[in-house]
Structure 1
Amino acid sequence: MILADILSLLLRLGELAFAVIVAALTGKYLHAVKGSSSWDQGRFIYTEVVAGLSIVLSIIWLFPFSGSFIHYPADFVISVMWFVSFGLLVSWLDDSCGNVFNWDNIALNSGTNTCAEWKADIAFTFLSAIFWLVSTLLGIYWVHKHTQQATVTTHRRRWYRSRV
């Protein structure tokens, strides 16, 4: 099952990278609006909390041990949290920068390009949700595979019993 360990390691690294990117982009926005009402910024605070939780858990579960596969229920919950965050950010953007999935108006400028930042934040939120969901599926596969192997019993004849 070395392939599952390698895939799990790559998924956790991706989850960590995406969570750090989302935390940085969302944190930059929260820093820019730090005088405003926290009630108005609830969706961004939620996204920041989900990113922070994902960073901590992906670091803890980064190392490929068999115990890292049994956390698939937590992986699923975090994936759902990321999908909720994705929906909140998409509804907040609400076509103010064009269609969310239209990347034609994105350019790398030395100045501020807030549409590019928001679309990147939304994209990495979605990618993080997908990676956590794939970790869930990998965990379910691993647990199912190992419970099947544990229940299969072999019927060997003991060496001290003869057929006579």
Structure 2
Amino acid sequence: MLLADLFSMLLRLAELAFGIIVAALTGKFLHASQGASSWSLGRFIYTEVVAGISILFAIIWLFPFSGSFIHWPADFFISVMWFVSFGLLVDWLNGSCGYAFDWSGISFDGTNTCSEWKANVAFAFLSAICWLASAILGIYWVRRHTHPVATTTHRRRWYRHRV
């Protein structure tokens, strides 16, 4: 299963990179909005926490061991957290920068904050997809490498001992 190990490592690297990008963009916004109430910044704090958790687990599970595949429930849960974060960020945009998936008018000169927000939304979605793909790969690996328990139709009586 060298191919599965390689694909898993590529997914973990992508998860790590996307988590770092989202953490940086969200952290920049949180730093710029100092003094605002934490209640109004809740969705960004949640996104930052999800990015931190995913960075931590992506680093831990980056190494190609067969044990890294058994973490598929955690991969699925982190994927769900990323999808929630994606939804919260899209809801926050609320059309102020245009449609969330309308990439026209994007500039890379650092003056367009809509570009940063759309990049943040896009990388949150990509991270969710990567975590979901890791969970699916983990399910596939576990299903393929677990052997069904042999069932017997004949049961030996407790009082018949073999010597």
TM-score (normalizing by structure 1): 0.89
Q: State percent identity of aligned pairs.
A: 71
Deviation at 1:142, TM superposition (A): 0.2
Q: What one-letter code is carried by the residue in structure 2 that aligns with 1:30? A: L
Which residue is 2:25 aligned to? 25
Q: What one-letter code is carried by the residue in structure 1 that aligns with 2:97? A: C
Does 2:104 correspond to 1:100?
Answer: no
Distance 2:112 2:61 in 1: 35
Which residue is 1:88 aligned to? 88
Q: What one-letter code is carried by the residue in structure 1 that aligns with 2:63? A: F
Aligned length: 150
Q: What one-letter code is carried by the residue in structure 2 that aligns with 1:127? A: L
Q: What one-letter code is carried by the residue in structure 1 that aligns with 2:77? A: V
Where does structure 1 differ by over 4 angstroms across 4 or more consecutive aligned residues? none
Which 5+ residue runs of structure 1 have no aligned equivalent? Answer: 153-164
TM-score (normalizing by structure 2): 0.90
Which residue is 2:56 aligned to? 56
Which 5+ residue runs of structure 2 have no aligned equivalent? Answer: 151-163
Deviation at 1:151, TM superposition (A): 5.3
Which residue is 1:45 aligned to? 45
Deviations 1:116-147 (A, max 9, x none): 00000000000000000000000000000001
Q: What one-letter code is carried by the residue in structure 2 that aligns with 1:121? A: N
Distance 2:59 2:38 in 1: 29
Which residue is 2:124 aligned to? 125
Which residue is 2:146 aligned to? 147
Which residue is 1:113 aligned to? 112
Distance 1:125 1:55 in 2: 13
Distance 2:123 2:146 in 1: 34
Backbone CA RMSD of aligned residues: 1.1
Q: What one-letter code is carried by the residue in structure 2 that aligns with 1:21? A: I
Deviation at 1:22, TM superposition (A): 0.1
Which residue is 1:68 aligned to? 68
Distance 1:141 1:33 in 2: 44
Distance 2:141 2:119 in 1: 32
